[in-house]
Structure 1
Amino acid sequence: MTDLDVDDRFAIQQTTGRYAHAYDTGDVEGFVGVFTEDGIFEVVLVDQHDQLALFRGAAELRDFAESGMPRVNPVLHHVCGFVFDETDADAPRTRATVVVTKQYPDGPTVVTHGTYFDRWRKTEAGWRIAHRRYVALGYRTSPETQ
């Protein structure tokens, strides 16, 4: 087992930032590009066993981004508390806390918050998310629907 070096750790953390910026700016290809070609994005609600959403592979991730970004933007992903749970260079795992805010006419509102649990793979293009499991503590419905 070989541990990640500092450059690899930095590259992984940068990719987490690129994920947030791509989604927040509506950059579909940038969003898809932070995942491996067979990458998985899974969403679950804390204390629930059923998935709220599951997207497998670049085509499904692209469909998710193309349909979701225009509907929810403008949003901001505030990602912090980034830590490595496993530093093996062949199978690194990280987690990070995320708070997502959306701008409404009466001001910004937290729409979801939770934790990303990520598994990483090094590709020719660099470190990419092989599997992201977002465990949401909850979601807020839009003020317009209340």
Structure 2
Amino acid sequence: MTHIISAFPGLGKTTIFTLNKDTIFDREFNESRSIRGMSSDEQILFFQHCADMVQLQKNTGYYDYLFITDHPALVERLKTNSMTHIYPNVFQAEVMSEYKQRLIKRSDLEWYERVMLPKISHLKTHIQKLYDCDYDVRLTDLEHRYIEDVFEFNAQTTLPKA
């Protein structure tokens, strides 16, 4: 059975995928760029098609894990309890400060301000909605910064720190 993991940028999706290309699929939609210039109706259609694609891949059961974006417009369309949501702990300032520095180093300040600041501004509310729906939510912290630190993969999965 394929398990969906929705995770915030910079938490290690691509790194784990690179080590496990036969058993993990990193479903990239580049949604922040993909929806530029789209009307609201077109954005709704775009995210519905993305959700349909994720659901189709999940239903095949071929991969152990599907990594997807955390974008609420996609996550809300999947509405599944068989998904894990992973975020940096936005409720702890020191975690978010370290996370910000790591992302700026990985990408750059312009990308962080353009893409991440709007996402982070709504993150507490989004996480609370997920909690209210009793979804599986995991938060990273200073000692557990990456997906593999807060989620237990199956024994066949190669992890970066192994």
Which has more helix, going by share of residues?
2
Normalising by the smaller structure, the TM-score range is under 0.3
**Structure 1-normalised TM-score?**
0.24
**Structure 2-normalised TM-score?**
0.22
